[in-house]
Amino acid sequence: MNNKYELIYEGKAKKVFTHDDSDKVIIEFKDDATAFNALKKAKFEGKGRLNCQISARIFELLIKKNIPTHFIKLKNENTMIAQKIKVIPLEIVLRNTAYGSLCKQTNIKPGTVLEKPLIDIYLKNDALNDPLITKDRIQLMNILSAKDLDYVINLTLKINKILKSFFRNIQLNLVDFKLEFGYDLKNNILLGDEISPDNCRLWDLDQKNDMIVSLDKDRFRNDLGGFIEAYSEINRRINNFI
Ligand code: TMP
Ligand code: ASP
């Protein structure tokens, strides 16, 4: 990154830099992959570029459908320009199909299609290992007002409808995903972070048998191999469709 831009924040998968305009930031997508709160770490050449390109296409799709997001435009292969936001320290997970932690913490069988989308909210705090949090605790901690929490939940449900149908068109089952939101300088709530195979579970529908074929970060989490191939396949399908 051009050194006239200052690093504001470095996360596990992205770096955030200042921009010439004080209300904007530059986000650089890294090649690092982490899982289980960074207990597991690796680098995959090309991951940053793929997640940046995939996220950009998906943000563009959501913006067309009137979802407020932080995305402004791509800057280059692995960087984008976004609105500066104050990130709300919550991870909003929506599940259409039971998998992952839901099946570890309950007796619901992996692969069970849920009657209606389930929203699970986690406190974004690595030191506490991102615990599942209740609406009352969110209020208690003054993280969000009841009104803003309802707004974020309704926006997540709306985003699910758009993404589910989009991914179905490219033969992918959107099993679950995690979103993050933030306040811009005018106090509007915007969808932030990224939307990529890092934070969405995507299963291939182009399958002749009932086997689960994950085209997402579960390839890394569960040592399935073919990580970059899976991310490239998602990118290829999106570009062929749009
Ligand atoms: P989980 O089943 O492990 O709770 O994950 C649910 C979804 O959230 C899945 O699509 C992966 C995503 N996720 C993240 O993006 N970041 C995280 O730190 C975790 C734990 C999950
Ligand atoms: N994002 C988390 C980590 O970096 C966990 C995950 O995605 O599984 O460790």
pLDDT band at 148 (very low <50, low <70, confident <90, very high): very high
pLDDT above 80 (res 1) = no
Q: 101: Cβ below 6 Å to ligand 2? A: no
Closest CA to 33 of 12, 54, 53: 12
Q: Which ligand number lies closest to the CA of residue 33?
A: 2
95 CA → ligand 1 middle, Å: 10
Q: 34: Cβ below 6 Å to ligand 2? A: yes
Convert the pLDDT of each residue in 158-200 to its tens digit.
999 999 999 999 999 999 999 999 999 999 999 999 999 999 9
pLDDT band at 23 (very low <50, low <70, confident <90, very high): very high
99 CA → ligand 1 middle, Å: 10
Domains of the chain, earliest start first: 7-83 (3.30.200.20), 86-241 (3.30.470.20)
Q: 218: Cβ below 6 Å to ligand 1? A: no
Residues 140-166 have a mean pLDDT of 98
Q: 36: Cβ below 6 Å to ligand 2? A: yes
Residues 23-39 have a mean pLDDT of 97
Q: 163: Cβ below 6 Å to ligand 1? A: no
pLDDT above 90 (res 7) = yes
Instruction: Return the C-alpha torsion angle 85, 91, 95, 98, nearest 10.
Output: 150
Q: 38: Cβ below 6 Å to ligand 2? A: yes
Residues 86-94 have a mean pLDDT of 98
What backbone phi and psi angles, to 5 degrees, belong to 212? -80, 125
User: Do the Cβ atoms of 30 and 13 come closer than 8 Å?
Assistant: yes
pLDDT above 80 (res 63) = yes
Q: 200: Cβ below 6 Å to ligand 1? A: yes
Ligand 2 atom nearest to CA at 35: 9
Convert the pLDDT of each residue in 206-217 to its tens digit.
877 889 999 999
30 CA → ligand 2 middle, Å: 14
Instruction: Return the C-alpha torsion angle 38, 106, 177, 167, nearest 10.
Output: 130
Assessment of whether the complete model's pTM goes beyond 0.85: yes
